[in-house]
Structures are given as structure tokens and as C-alpha cells.
A and B are shown apart, each in its own frame.
Chain A
């Protein structure tokens, strides 16, 4: 079975799913709000002549401060709903009334279906990244104007933006895989969103064992490229970290794909 038809139908399906757009909007609007606040604070401090109170006045850093984390929440929501929406019951009774039955009737070749869904997650996360990352930086720049001193070179900016988008994409795929295994979005949402906040179970584990730095969300932490004064020490460098995180995503996808193919609907 070709990939083209399932990809097209899954794209149409997700594009008409309000929850998927909610994930995009959470990333976009949530980060914009905090970036605006951040930028106004920076501008205010510079105008009042007290820039030493701030970490730095770089528009890029200002735009980048909250966006990566909020974007993770959006990516997780996207990954969860692309497969989770297949399993929400239309009616609580008469088993088999869930959308997955219709989907599998249309596309019985499950590996193809799973890959199509993974591609859709990537498309939506990429779309989110494309608007959110430059958007936030532009917003910060617009508000701060010339008042700030840029400490980030254009090359660095591009690298960090792409790396952040990569982190989001991998988190989206991890969310997709876990939700495929659990068939319900509740646990993956709770665990993955909690892990991207200060209440991070992974971060706590790093206090107990250095092995925790190999967990997917910990391994990829340095991809955001935050200045090292603000990041918990230890752990993997950006490139090895990205590879570990990518490895996790791949393994989880393979496991989820196999389970999805073999079990009952």
C-alpha cells in the first residue's frame, strides 16, 4: 500500500481536528505572551537605567527564554491527539464504535498507517516551529528595539532554532508512541508535560543517579542552547544528547509500531 493516500487522509483528518490546532495555538500564543512580558521588562529596565538587574538584554535570549518549554507542551499535545483521537469513544456503549475501526477499515496496512501518523506529527510540529520560533524572536526584537545588546550571533541563532525544533519534533514522536501503547492520552500528557516543568521526574532522578541524564528529555536538554549559567550541570553535550534522544524516539516508535500492528484494534 502506498504512503501517499494514507498520508493525505491523515493530514485532512488532523487538520480538521480542533485539538491538534489547540496544541499549535498553545505553543504559539503561550510563548508569545510570556515573550512579550519578558521583552517589556527588559525594555523597562533599560529605559530606567538598571540593566544590571537582568541576566542580559539580548532580544534573542528574551524571545527564547520561555518558548522552548511552551513549545514542548504544544508538541506533546499534537503527538497525543493524533493517535488519541482514534480511541475516544463516540458512545460509551457498543464496543467498536471508536474511530480506529473506521480508520483501519480505510487503511488496513497498519505499519503504513503508523508511519503516516508519525509524518503528520512532524508536519504539525514543523509548522508550529516555523511560526513560533521566528515569531517570538521578531516579537522580542520589535519590543526591545535597539535598547538591548545582542549577544547571540546569527549562526548561533539558526543552530539553536533548528535544535529546538528538533527537540519538539522528537518529543512529539515520543508522545505519539507512548499514546499508541496506552491508547489513552491521559498518562502521556501528565508525564510528559510534568517532565518539561520544574516538577520534572527525570530531573529529580538525575540527583539520584547520573544514568538519568540518558533519559530522552534530559539528554536533549542542551539542544535549547541556554547559556550554561542557567542550566543544571552534568549530562550530555548537545550533539550526543540529540543522538540519544533520537535513539529513544526511534526505539519507542518501533515498539509502538509493532504493538499497533499486532494487537486487536
Chain B
């Protein structure tokens, strides 16, 4: 379970996050929505221990990310594409990630199969297409068989087959009891797959709850999105 409480962050004089509070519960897919520059990536970066908040906390099963002994075995994350160096091969990239958290080497082949990159394992990452890079990032997230998945725009660059595959993967992960926190712009995807929704604009949470609750009174998720974020747009970006 992921618990974010009263998170605040400033860059210089600009307030990037103001009192952000929400939860992502196990067994459910939580969609994290917001316009560009709303603070989604900032929130996720703090959750994953990359940045420090000015105030508040972001905990995974009650503990901050930096205190986890084998973080990749608890939380699998994908923030920005492959996250790999361009001159390594996919296999070598996954190899060092696995060894850093004591994950057995056989997992490298298993996740490459799982994401459909089995044939591209020995290709340099610099030669990957956008979709292949995304899949590699997902492979790294899945390496440690974590209970929680935190994904930023995972569908970006995937073809229809890939989108359907991810939908199945995330749904299956939640149904098996895992936690999924998924930030996305693709309304149609989020509507299909999310159980709960968190909407953020200009650094503040404007709605949080089940899909049904948040979209109550609106015809579609897209209408709800614009209805909730309208007038709060113009976040500094």
C-alpha cells in the first residue's frame, strides 16, 4: 500500500506540490491524472526517494523508499522510458539492476520474455525504438517481482498489442493482490483499467476516490478530467 501525506515541495519560489495527500490500495489499480506540469512526476520522484519534500511523507507499506532493504523487490518503478545507458545491451542493463538488489540472474531472461524483448536482449539500448525502450523500462520494474508497481506514462510509445498486453499485466497484478499506481494522460486507458483515481492540478489534489465517485455527474472520464482541472490550469511549466 502506498500512502502519501501532506507532501509539499518548492523549486525556488515556485510551489510545485502543496499538501498532496492520497492512497494507492493493494488489489486495486490507482490512476494518477493531471495536466502537464501538475506535479505528477514530482510526486513520484519523492515517493521513490529521488527528491526530498519540503514537508510531508510518502510511504510504501509504512516505510520510506530509502529505508527499504531491497527496494526493487518491494516496488517496481518506471519513470522515464528505459532508464538505461545507450551503449549497454538490454540484457547487461537488466543484469546489473538484478545484481544490485540480489535478484537471481534467471529473472533477466524471464522478464525479457514477459515484455516481448527476448530477441532484442543483445541489442544496444541506443538502437531501441521508443516502444522497445518502454518495454525495457517495464522489464526492469518487473525484475524483482515486487508487490507494488509505480509507473509514469507506461503506455507511451506502445503499439495496440503492447497496450492490450500492459492492460492485462496491470489488471492481473492488482487482481493478485498487488498495488498499482499508474500516471497517465491516456483517458481511454485509465477509464478501462483504473479502480481508483487521484487527480492533481497545479500541485494540489482536486479529487481522489473510486472511479465511480470521481466521475459522478460527468458523462465520461474525459469530461470529469476537464471539469475538475479547469480553472486550475496554468501551472508553471
Q: Do chains A and B touch in the complex (CB under 8 A)?
A: yes
- Establish whether residues A95 and B129, one from each chain, have CB atoms under 8 Å apart when the complex forms: yes
Binary per-residue interface labels of chain A (84-99) against chain B in the complex, 1 for a CB within 8 Å, 0 otherwise: 0000010111110000
Give the complex CA separation of A91 and B156 in angstroms.
15
| Nearest-Cβ distance from residue A141 to partner chain B, whole angstroms | 45
The reply to whether B81 and A94 form a contact with Cβ atoms under 8 Å apart is yes
Complex Cα distance A32/B129, Å?
Answer: 48
A91, A93, A94, A95: which has the most chain B beta carbons within 10 Å? Answer: A93
Interface string of B62-105 (1 = CB under 8 A from A): 00000000000000000011111110000000000000000000
Instruction: Decide if B86 touches A94 in the complex (CB within 8 Å).
Output: no
Question: What's the Cα separation between A95 and B81 when bound, in Å?
Answer: 12
Nearest A-chain residue to B127, judged by Cβ: A95
In the bound complex, residues from chain A placing their C-beta under 8 Å from that of B136 are: 93
User: Is there an interface contact between B84 and A92, defined as CB atoms closer than 8 Å?
Assistant: yes
B178 an interface residue at 8 Å Cβ cutoff? no
In whole angstroms, how far apart are the Cα atoms of A236 and B22 in the complex?
A: 75
Chain A residues within 8 Å of B168, by CB: none
B127–A92 touching, CB < 8 Å: no
Taking CB atoms, residues of chain A closer than 8 Å to B86 are: 89, 92-93
Q: What residue in chain B is nearest A92 (Cβ atoms)?
A: B86
> Contact: A89 with B126, CB < 8 Å?
yes
Contacts of A91 in B (CB 8 A): 80-81
Identity of the chain A residue whose Cβ is nearest the Cβ of B137 in the assembled complex: A93
Main secondary structure on B side of the interface with A: loop
Q: Which of B84, B85, B86, B127 has the most CB of A within 10 A?
A: B86
B125 at the interface (CB under 8 A from A): yes
User: Contact flags (1/0) for B135-146 with A, using CB distance below 8 Å?
Assistant: 011000000000
> Could you tell me the distance in whole angstroms from the C-beta of B217 to the nearest C-beta in chain A?
39
Residue B216 CB within 8 A of the other chain? no
Write the nearest CB–CB distance from A210 to chain B, whole angstroms.
40
A258 and B130 alpha carbons, distance in the complex (Å):
30
The interface residues of chain B lying within 8 Å CB-to-CB of A94 are: 81, 128-130, 133, 157
A89–B85 Cα distance when bound, in Å, is: 10
* A91→B132 CA distance, assembly (Å): 14
Provide the residues of chain B in CB contact with A92, threshold 8 Å: 81-86, 125-126
What's the minimum C-beta distance from B123 to chain A, rounded to whole angstroms?
11
Q: Which residues of the partner chain A approach B84 to less than 8 Å between Cβ atoms? A: 92-93
Question: From A94, which residue of chain B is reached at the shortest CB distance?
Answer: B130
> A89 to B127, alpha carbons, bound, how many Å?
12
Which A-chain residue is minimally distant from B81 (CB atoms)?
A93
Q: Within 8 Å CB of B132, what residues of A?
A: 93
Contacts of B125 in A (CB 8 A): 92-93
Which of B80, B85, B126, B137 meets A95, CB within 8 Å? B126
Q: Which residues of A contact B80 (CB under 8 A)?
A: 91
User: How far, in angstroms, from A94 to B83 measured CA to CA in the complex?
Assistant: 11
- Please indicate which of the listed interface residues A91, A92, A95 has the most CB atoms of chain B within 10 Å of its own CB: A92
Q: CA of A91 to CA of B136 in the docked complex: distance in angstroms?
A: 14
Q: Kindly state the separation between the CA atoms of A92 and B137 in the bound complex, as whole angstroms.
A: 12
Residues of A within 8 A of B137 (CB): 93
Residues of A within 8 A of B85 (CB): 92
A92 to B126 alpha-carbon distance, docked (Å): 6
Cα A94 to Cα B132 in complex, Å, equals 8
- Who on chain B is nearest to A91 by CB? B81
What is the CB-to-nearest-CB distance from B138 to chain A, in angstroms, rounded to a whole number? 12
Taking the nearest CB of chain A, how far is it from the CB of B60, in angstroms?
26
| Bound: A92/B81 CA distance, A | 9
Given the complex of chains A and B, what is the CA–CA distance between A36 and B194 in angstroms? Answer: 68
How many Å from the CB of A249 to the closest CB on chain B?
A: 30
Closest Cβ of chain A to B94, distance in Å, is: 14
What are the 5 closest A-B residue pairs judged by CB atoms, nearest first?
A93-B133, A93-B82, A94-B130, A92-B86, A93-B81
**Apart from A92-B126, A94-B130, A95-B128, what 5 extra A-B contacts exist at CB < 8 Å?**
A89-B86, A92-B85, A93-B84, A93-B125, A93-B132
7 A-B residue pairs with CB within 8 Å: A89-B126, A91-B80, A93-B84, A93-B86, A94-B81, A94-B130, A95-B126
> B residues bordering A, Cβ < 8 Å?
80-86, 125-130, 132-133, 136-137, 157
